[in-house]
């Protein structure tokens, strides 16, 4: 009797979590960009030649959307080296640095152990604060090959059929 009552009371709670979210957020409302990664084509002196969002890769061409809205068709043979900016380490690096700094103040409550914990906290939080604003970068061809770059494109399976490149933003 008690088990049946318990199941009867818990069943609605369990089923309440089985609903579908019908609202699909807009791209600008997402916390992360739904677009491809930033690709920077570099020359031999590591000077940027072309820069933009990696749309897709074919075996011989990279399609890159520039900030001006132009789609570049860059042949694979023209890309000696490139840099992919995969992701930022934090969306709010200043906030992360502030909290890391405040963490060091908490070591004042450690008493005599502060002699050990303060240098440890300063070392860890300074490393976190330093890396907070940097992007995670991968270099082509040193760290990633042509085929592996495709998974970071906006269209990893290739450009969609029937969609004019001029409509992409």
**What is the domain partition of the chain in residue ranges?**
32-89+135-159, 90-133
Tokens coding 101? 């700094």
pLDDT digits (tens, 9 = 90+) for 48-68: 777 888 888 888 888 888 878
**Of 64, 78, 85, 75, the residue nearest 135 (C-alpha):** 85
Architecture per CATH, domain 32-89+135-159, reads as: Roll (2.30)
pLDDT digits (tens, 9 = 90+) for 89-113: 556 777 777 888 788 888 888 888 8
- For 50-80, b where at least 16 C-beta lie within 10 A, e where not — what string? bbbbbbbbeeebbbbbeeeeebbebeeeebe
User: Cα–chain-centroid distance for residue 151?
Assistant: 13
pLDDT digits (tens, 9 = 90+) for 78-88: 878 888 877 66
Q: Is the pTM of this model over 0.85?
A: no
């Amino acid at each position: 009797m008690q088990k049946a009552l318990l199941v009867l009371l818990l069943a609605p709670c369990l089923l309440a979590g089985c609903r579908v979210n019908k609202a699909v957020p807009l791209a600008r409302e997402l916390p992360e960009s739904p677009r491809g990664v930033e690709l920077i084509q570099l020359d031999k002196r590591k000077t940027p030649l072309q820069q933009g969002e990696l749309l897709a890769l074919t075996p011989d061409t990279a399609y890159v959307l520039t900030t001006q809205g132009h789609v570049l068709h860059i042949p694979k043979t023209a890309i000696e080296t490139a840099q992919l900016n995969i992701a930022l380490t934090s969306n709010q690096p200043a906030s992360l640095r502030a909290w890391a700094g405040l963490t060091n103040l908490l070591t004042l409550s450690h008493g005599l152990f502060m002699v050990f914990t303060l240098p440890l906290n300063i070392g860890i939080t300074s490393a976190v604060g330093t890396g907070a604003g940097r992007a995670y970068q991968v270099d082509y061809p040193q760290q990633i090959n042509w085929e592996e770059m495709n998974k970071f494109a906006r269209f990893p399976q290739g450009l969609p059929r029937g969609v004019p490149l001029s409509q992409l933003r």
